[in-house]
Structures are given as C-alpha cells and as structure tokens.
C-alpha cells in the first residue's frame, strides 16, 4: 500500500483543515499517481476536496465514525479493518492513503511505499505526518532534482519500508 503527501521541513501537512500550499506540479504528480487507483481518506479530507466530492476516476474509500454519513460515489467505512476489506483484491501498489493526519497514522503500518513532496520551508501547521527521515524502518530510495514554485524549493521523494 502507498502513502502520498506533501510535507514541509517539519513533516507538517496542513493547517485548519487545508493543505499548507498548492503547487501545480505536486497536484499533477498526485493525479498521475492515483488516477485509476483506490484512494483511502478521512471525512475531513473528502470535505476539503473541490465540491466536497470524491475524486474522479478513482475508487474512493472514506472513513468516518458517523454511521449516518455517506457520500455518493464513495465507499464508506467505519474502521481501518473495513477500509482494508474494501481494498481487498486490489494490488497493494494500486492503493493510496491520501490523508489526513489520523488516517496517515492509522494506515502507516500497512504502507510499504511513501510518495512525498518535500517542501523546504517551515509552515505554521496543526497537522503532521510521521517523520520518515527519522524512522529507521524507512529509507528514501529516490529524490528528484530540486524544483521551485515562486520562492519555494521542493523535491519529490520516494520512501520504502525496509524489509
């Protein structure tokens, strides 16, 4: 299973329910990586998407503890176990965990690859991803050349869980 996120220097991912920054090439990478695949997200992440609607051309699995919550075009799950059952039969490389903080924390043990847009800046934030650089179970096996978006420098990184 994959994890995909954009993080800052402190592994922050958001503030007040929003991404820290919108970088067009990061959005394109996200579309390219997840199109035609299954995506697992929390309710708050779904509600932060355009139109508060599931992502097109993907199997959307949404976790919410609220038994009455449902969204057309999404598979609703109430637990990690239900979500894992919803992706049963889908190749692990075709499943992406897309946030937010709690969902990343719950699904990290099931992920073996992380696609990270690493932004060389420290934002004010209230949501974080586990620091994979500081975790001996993970290693970065790919990093692109540094790119810029206005005054921001960033790279695309891939981390893999050590076997």
pLDDT band at 38 (very low <50, low <70, confident <90, very high): very high
* Total-model pTM: 0.96
113 token code pair = 């690859």
8 token code pair = 């800052």
Domains of the chain by range and CATH?
2-161 (3.40.430.10)
Cβ within 8 Å of residue 36, ≥6 positions away: 57, 58, 94
Assess whether pLDDT exceeds 90 at residue 70. yes
Instruction: Give me the chain's average pLDDT, please.
Output: 97
pLDDT band at 161 (very low <50, low <70, confident <90, very high): very high
Question: Could you give the percent of the chain with pLDDT greater than 90?
Answer: 99
* CA–CA distance, 121 with 125 (Å, rounded to integer): 12
Mean pLDDT of 59-79: 96
Q: Residue 66's closest CA among 88, 86, 43?
A: 43
What torsion, rounded to 10 degrees, do the Cα atoms 28, 53, 71, 100 define? Answer: 50
Q: Are 59 and 37 in contact (CB under 8 A)?
A: yes
* CA–CA distance, 9 with 22 (Å, rounded to integer): 16
Count CB-CB contacts under 10 A for residue 124.
Answer: 9
Mean pLDDT of 56-63: 98
* CA–CA distance, 96 with 41 (Å, rounded to integer): 9
pLDDT band at 69 (very low <50, low <70, confident <90, very high): very high
Question: Cis before residue 100, ω within 30 degrees of 0?
Answer: yes
Assess whether pLDDT exceeds 90 at residue 163. no
């Amino acid at each position: 299973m994959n994890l995909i996120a954009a993080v800052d220097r402190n592994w922050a991912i958001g503030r007040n329910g929003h991404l820290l920054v919108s970088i067009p090439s990061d959005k394109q990478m996200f579309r390219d990586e997840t199109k035609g695949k299954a995506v697992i997200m929390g309710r708050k992440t779904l509600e932060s998407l355009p139109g508060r609607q599931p992502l097109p051309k993907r199997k959307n699995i949404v976790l919410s503890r609220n038994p009455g919550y449902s969204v057309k075009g999404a598979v609703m799950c109430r637990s990690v176990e239900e979500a894992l059952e919803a992706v049963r039969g889908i190749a692990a490389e075709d499943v992406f965990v897309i946030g937010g903080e709690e969902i990343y924390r719950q699904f990290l043990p099931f992920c073996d690859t992380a696609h990270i847009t690493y932004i060389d800046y420290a934002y004010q934030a209230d949501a974080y991803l586990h620091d994979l650089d500081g975790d001996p179970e993970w290693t970065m096996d790919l990093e692109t050349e540094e790119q810029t978006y206005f005054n921001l420098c960033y790279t695309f990184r891939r981390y893999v869980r050590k076997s």
